[in-house]
Amino acid sequence: MEKNILILTGSPRNGGNTDKLANAFITGAQQAGHMTVKFTTADKHIKGCIDCQTCFSRDSACSIPDDFAKLAPLLEQADMVVFATPMYWFTFPAQLKAAIDKFYSFLIGKRPWKVKECALLVCGGGTDLKTYDGFVKSYKTMADFLNWKDSGVIIVPGLHDKDEILKTDGLKRAETFGKSIL
C-alpha cells in the first residue's frame, strides 16, 4: 500500500550528513512505491509555541504567522512522519523542535491527522550509543503520546564533518529501511 511519507529534517547544514541520511531513506521509500515530501525545518521561520490556545481558530494551524502554516497541511496529508536530524545537546535541534512543539495545534484544534506511524533517523558526533538514549526516549514518548507506531530508529554515531557519513553504512541502512516500509 502506497504511503504519503513526510520527512522532517532538522539540520541547518545543507547537504550534510543528515541531509544525505534523509535522501537515502527517501530513495528507498520511493523505490518501494511511497510518495515522499521532504520539509527542511532549518531554512524555515517557525516560532516556538506560546500556548495561546487559539490553534486553528483563524485561517491556519497557528495564530502566530510563520512557516508552520506550510507544514500543517503536509502533516494533515501524511501517513507517516520521519524525523531526520542531527543530535544537538542530546535532543532535537531548535529548528526541528519548534516545528514539533507546534504539533500541539492539532490537539488543541481537535484536528484529525492521518499520521499513524513514525521513524527516527539521527546522527551525531557522540560515538557512545548511550549518549543517544535520552533523544530516543523523547522520540518514543512523543510517538506513544500521539498513538503513532514507531517503525524504527537508525542511529549513525561519530559524525562531525560534512561527508563523514559516506565512510559508514548509515546511508545503506537508511535506504534499506525506506524500502522496508509497508
CB count in 10 Å sphere of residue 162: 14
Name the nearest CA neighbour of 120 among 93, 164, 151: 151
Nine-digit cell at 105? 495545534
pLDDT reported for residue 60: 86
Global confidence as pTM = 0.96
Q: At residue 59, does pLDDT exceed 90? A: no
The tens digit of pLDDT for each residue in 19-31 reads 999 999 999 999 9
Domains of the chain: 27-180 (3.40.50.360)
Nearest to 157 by CA among 125, 120, 182: 125
pLDDT > 70 in the chain, percent: 100
DSSP, residue by residue, 40-88: EGGGS--PPP---S-TTSSSSS-SS-STHHHHHHHHHH-SEEEEEEE-B
Q: Specify the 3-state DSSP secondary structure of 2.
A: coil
CB 123 within 8 A of CB 10: no
Nearby residues of 104 by Cβ (< 8 Å), 6 or more positions away:
49, 51, 55
Mean pLDDT, residues 104-133 taken together: 94
Q: From residue 101, how far is each of 25, 32, 162 by CA, in Å?
A: 24, 31, 28
Confidence of residue 91 (pLDDT cuts 50, 70, 90): very high
